[in-house]
Amino acid sequence: MEETHTILVVEDEATLREALVYNLNKEGYAVSQASTGLQALALARTLAPDVIILDLMLPELDGLSVCRSLRREPATADCSILILTARGGELDKIIGLETGADDYLTKPFSLGELLARVRALLRRTRSSAPRDTLEAGNLVLDLIARRATRNGAELALKPKEFSLLAELMRHRGAVLSRDLLLSHVWGQDFFGDDRTVDVHVRWLREKIEDDPAHPVHIQTVRGLGYRFEA
Ligand code: CA
């Protein structure tokens, strides 16, 4: 099955951020968002996204400082960074690229152009070796044996529950839409609807949450989908 790419959108302008998240989600990417520089750093460290779309003018910590920090840290050194800025001109371009950004887009830009740049960055992304275990808190998934344990005790998961949990854990912190989960866990030719995902999430919560009515791991993001938190 095709790998889901993770993208972090860092933009303090809510309208633009939401439009980017919506459209990238529609393209099949797992998308997370941050509206400040500090939020961006924290999320990037836990997610290690494939691509970070980074606005320069941000509250708390500006985009260039974020970019420099990300490049210095092993967890995020390999993330592709696409800088967005309202400030044109060569100087900004040079500063941006010297700071370690991979590409640069000046506002206003077209959605088509942004998506093309993202695709180009993803093609350049070095493919990392596939992981054989996923861990989050008290949960461990052995992807080879397809066994799951919670606090060391084996969980009785059905095959689709296992695949769904693995998909969510692989992209922890990112919102995955029901459409994306359907196509990646059930396959493109599956004729189900959103309720298929909801039902499996409910079953999973009963198995992995202390209190399924107040889930901490699999969180519902209203109007968007689900997000896994360790
Ligand atoms: Ca801004």
**Ligand 1 geometric centre to CA of 97 (Å):** 18
Q: Give distance in angstroms: CA of 86 to centre of ligand 1.
A: 8
Distance 163 CA to ligand 1 centre (A): 38
Q: Residue 41 pLDDT > 70, yes or no?
A: yes
Domains in the chain: boundaries: 6-123, 133-228
Percent of the chain whose predicted confidence (pLDDT) is above 70: 90
For the beta sheet containing 80-85, the strands, ordered from the edge strand earlier in sequence to the opposite edge, are 103-106, 80-85, 51-55, 6-10, 30-34, 175-177, 225-228, 218-221
Report, as an integer, the average pLDDT of 139-167.
Answer: 92
In the prediction, which pLDDT does 1 show?
47
Per-residue pLDDT of 163-196, as tens digits, reads 999 999 988 888 889 988 988 888 766 777 778 9
More confident residue, 74 or 32: 32
pLDDT average, residue stretch 195-209: 95
Domains 6-123 and 133-228 share a fold: no
The rounded Å distance from CA 106 to ligand 1 centre is 12
Span from the CA of 92 to the centroid of ligand 1 (angstroms): 14
Q: What is the mean pLDDT of residues 27-54?
A: 95
State the distance from the centre of ligand 1 to the C-alpha of 20, rounded, in angstroms.
14
pLDDT at 108: 85
Q: What does the pLDDT read at residue 148?
A: 95
User: Ligand 1 centroid vs 40 CA: distance in angstroms?
Assistant: 13
CA distance 114 to 142: 36
DSSP letter (8 states) at residue 209 = -
CA distance 163 to 145: 12
What sign for the dihedral angle of Cα 55, 56, 61, 64? Answer: positive
Query: From ligand 1's centre to the CA of 174, what distance in Å?
Result: 21
* Rg of the chain taking only CA atoms, in angstroms: 18
| Average pLDDT value for the chain | 87
Q: How far is the CA of 180 from the centre of ligand 1 (A)?
A: 29
- Helix (H) / strand (E) element for 137: namely none
Cα(35) to ligand 1 centroid in Å equals 9
Q: In a 10 Å sphere around its CB, with 0-12 CB exposed, 13-18 middle and 19+ buried, how is residue 114 labelled?
A: middle
Please give the distance, rounded to the nearest whole angstrom, from the Cα atom of residue 74 to the centre of ligand 1: 26
- CATH fold of 6-123 reads Rossmann fold (3.40.50)
Distance 6 CA to ligand 1 centre (A): 22
> Looking at the predicted structure, is the pLDDT value of residue 92 above 70?
no
CA 53 to ligand 1 center in whole angstroms: 12
* Cα(69) to centroid(ligand 1), Å: 18
pLDDT tens per residue, range 106-139: 888 899 999 999 998 998 765 554 567 888 888 9
Domain 133-228: state its class.
Answer: mainly alpha
